Amino acid sequence: MPKLTPVTLQIDGALGSRISKTFDRFPIHLYEAIVIDGRTLVPAGASGWGEVVHAKKAGGSGAAGELVLAARVLTVDGRELHLRSLRLGGSGENHNQAATTLAAVAGLAGAVGGWLMKGSEVDVPSGTIAGAKVAEDFAVAESAVTPQAPPAVLVDTKVQSEGTKQ
């Protein structure tokens, strides 16, 4: 499996600028099987983890909450498949943002004495769909490869994640 192969993940825990801490790990799993040339290299369901690179609660002066997430690893055949380029609400294709970076919009408009105002928090609900890429070439054992029976069903992940603040 070549590096930069797109993968679609699901985040299996609630994350947010208020509840997450920098360096927290969070569970993920492969939402769609990785299929290349009609062969399933990694079936859906493989589990792994991501990491909170940066989390900051919303603060005074309308400072918005901040959350930076990274996908790290899926476990495949007992080995670590390293990931990169996490992006919420995508399939991993057609983007090259390094890690998902989120900042809520500050709620300052019309505030007098704005330093008393608190900005919005960022929330990433459990079950959020995310795209990522394979970070490096990864050899899959031939015995683990299965031909794909029915044609792949493409899921419109964008619609499912539109509620996420960005």
Partner 1 sequence: MKYLARAGRNLWLASAFGIAVAAAAVPASAATDKAEVVIPAPPPGKGQIVFYRTGTIMGAAMGCAVNENGQKISSLGAGRYFILVTEPGRHEYMVKSEAKDFLALEVEPDETQYAMCKIKMGMMAGRPDLQPSTREAFVKAGTDRPVDDADMGPGPGAMRAAERVAAQAAAAPAAPTN
Nearer to partner 1, 20 or 40 (CB): 20
Q: Which amino acid, residue 34?
A: I
Inter-residue contact 64 to 106 (CB < 8 Å): yes
Cβ neighbours of residue 154 closer than 8 Å, sequence gap 6 or more: none
Q: Give CA–CA dist 27/129, Å, rounded.
A: 12
Nearer to partner 1, 19 or 33 (CB): 19
Q: Which is nearer to partner 1, 46 or 64 (CB)?
A: 64
The smaller minimum CB distance to partner 1, of residues 38 and 60, is found at 60
Nearest distance from residue 2's CB to partner 1, in Å?
15
> Shortest distance, CB of residue 158 to partner 1, whole angstroms?
15
Cβ contacts of residue 94 below 8 Å, gap of 6+? none
3-state secondary structure of 54: strand
Query: What residue ranges bind partner 1 (CB under 8 A)?
Result: 22, 53-54, 56, 61-64, 66, 68, 70, 84-85, 95-99, 101-103, 106, 108-115, 166
* In the complex, least distance from residue 37 CB atom to partner 1, rounded to whole angstroms: 25
Report the nearest approach of partner 1 to the CB of residue 135 (Å): 8
Cα atoms in the 13 Å half-sphere on the side-chain side of 156: 2
